[in-house]
Amino acid sequence: MAGELQRIAELGKQLRVDSIRCTTAAGSGHPTSSMSAADLMAVLLVKYLKYDWDHPHNPNNDRLVFSKGHASPLLYAMYKAAGVITDEELLSLRKFGSRLEGHPKPLQSAGDHGTPRGLPWVDVATGSLGQGLPIGVGMAFSGKYVDKLPFDVWVLLGDSELAEGSNWEAFDKAGHYKLNNVIAILDMNRLGQRGPTDLGWDAPVYAARARAFGWHAIEINGHDIAAIDAAYKEALAQAEKPTCIVAKTVKGSGVSLVANKEGWHGKALSPDQAEEAIKELGGERHIAVDVEQPRPLPKATPPPVQPLKLPSYEIGTEEATRRAFGDALVAVGANRPDVVVLDGEVSNSTFTEDFGKAYPNRFFEMFIAEQQLVGAALGLSVLGKIAFAATFAAFLTRAFDQIRMAAVSGGSLRLCGSHAGVSIGEDGPSQMALEDLAMMRSIHGSTVLYPCDANQTAHLVNAMADLPGISYLRTTRAKTPVIYDPGEAFPIGGSMVVRHSDADQVAIIAAGITLHESLRAFEQLRSEGIRARVIDAYTVKPIDRESLHEAARVTGGRLVVVEDHWSEGGLGDAVLDAFVGAMEKVPTVIKLAVRSMPTSGTPAELLSAAGIDAEHIAQAVRECL
């Protein structure tokens, strides 16, 4: 046993040395943040991590998430010790074209330079702090409740990032769901970027906070190999509680020049300093680790696949698109056993509660914790689940960083935001999503959908299940008329020209609630002899350029866009973007949108006050002509 512990201690020194070597070669990086956690990761790699490096998507693999993603040199040094990267590649850290980026990122499809990017053993991109543990909670949901597999989720946390509220959302939910398959390793090295953290080395306070959320907490010296070993054993023995190991460590451990010294965060050692530091650590080593294979247990037998039978609604009736979203989830869930749904404690308004009743082991209530909502959805997604997450659209703004980082990860998330726009009525502006289209359009590779009726919604929900990347469905609070046949097709990237003729003088472009206002305006204008084309732009991104260009051609370039959203970044700007770089003449585009802060009122009053109801649309058309 003593010989094994000594070998692990030597591996810890090797991980420090390699962290110094690669950051000095790069001229940048975070060697000291890597050195503090080296012993913790050495014990994990040799004795506890169960992982098949040749098959990173093996469902029985343990998951390792570096929430403190700036410690990527340590992670890459571990990969070298495991034999999956070479020393030459290790020294390519942070260089253009290298897989070893400044912060870890999963393997993704070929990018602009024609080669795949990222690493197959990284599940999620980290570096924006406070995200690893929420994602790990989602992974643990998959293992404990959906697939019933024996893997564990190891999350390396930095002490600075525990100032992030998202971590405490994760502590709360992991405790609530008794996720004994989550082990959080807190690298309590006392020093943040600009100096000491708020708690420093006060391990009892960290441990007390974890226990308050229902966790088992263990306080150790993070450089004592035997203590680390014992803590991991104790963590794996827990039957109903997640474990937080509070490990007191020294930033820059092992090198007197930087150990516990301020001013060394994110700073590489010079070549001369690195040479002396490596000599102090005993020189380079070449220890190879044969990581234990995962336990070969089958996942739970999925329920039988049912034929897809989307809900259908009769033309002429009225139904809320949020209601259709919930109905469609139940239908898609019956057809796809890998569909999971999460909600932010509004499931009786988003109607995800129906999915929860039908498939309780695939529904996770995140309560009012939107960052955890999106983080857990990503964790489920990277383990192969088709994850939908829903809340009021206004509150998804709280999780914008999680959504942004999910795109960096190349993850696939399906988000639904209900209660959008001034049309929600009396609740007032705090509940009105007026920024969501702009927010979601700005996400790299995103798809943004805004249905106007229940049948359209059901088809789009089903289509979202197959969409890669981040997709967003905006739903409406009020019941709206059903205008489409249940058998109608709604391809992603398309639109519907719901009123048209060869003699159209102007085109009205709308989506969701304003599509119905536009149809009312159409009737007013027709009675005056004005011919208007009405386009339902249900795909806000990618916008249907072809239909818009055709409308501009037919109408002489007269377009009126109307949206229940701020004038910046929404449907109007999507329409304008469709003409950027066009060879033909840029059309005249009138944007009707919300431009002043709403108040409480009836939906009709608020639509009118915002200038986006039928009367204002008709007047804009007249002025356009």
Residues annotated catalytic, as ranges: 370
Residues for the chain: how many in total? 625
User: What is the rounded radius of gyration, in angstroms, for the C-alpha atoms of the chain?
Assistant: 27
**HSE-CB of 423 using CA atoms within 13 angstroms:** 28
Which two tokens mark 493?
């990237």
Cα 183 from Cα 154, distance rounded (Å): 5
107: number of Cβ within 10 Å: 14
User: Tokens 């929600």 belong to which residue?
Assistant: 424
Which two tokens mark 342?
């999460």
CB-based contacts of 153, cutoff 8 Å, min separation 6: 62, 63, 65, 136, 139, 140, 143, 179, 181, 182, 183
Cα 509 from Cα 115, distance rounded (Å): 39
- Helix (H) / strand (E) element for 342: namely strand 339-343
- Tell me if residue 540 falls in helix, strand or coil: strand
Contact 512, 571 (CB under 8 A): no
Contact 561, 571 (CB under 8 A): yes
| Dihedral angle over CA of 464, 468, 472, 473, nearest 10 | -10
Burial of 190 (0-12, 13-18, 19+ CB in 10 A): buried
Dihedral sign (CA 553, 557, 563, 565) = positive
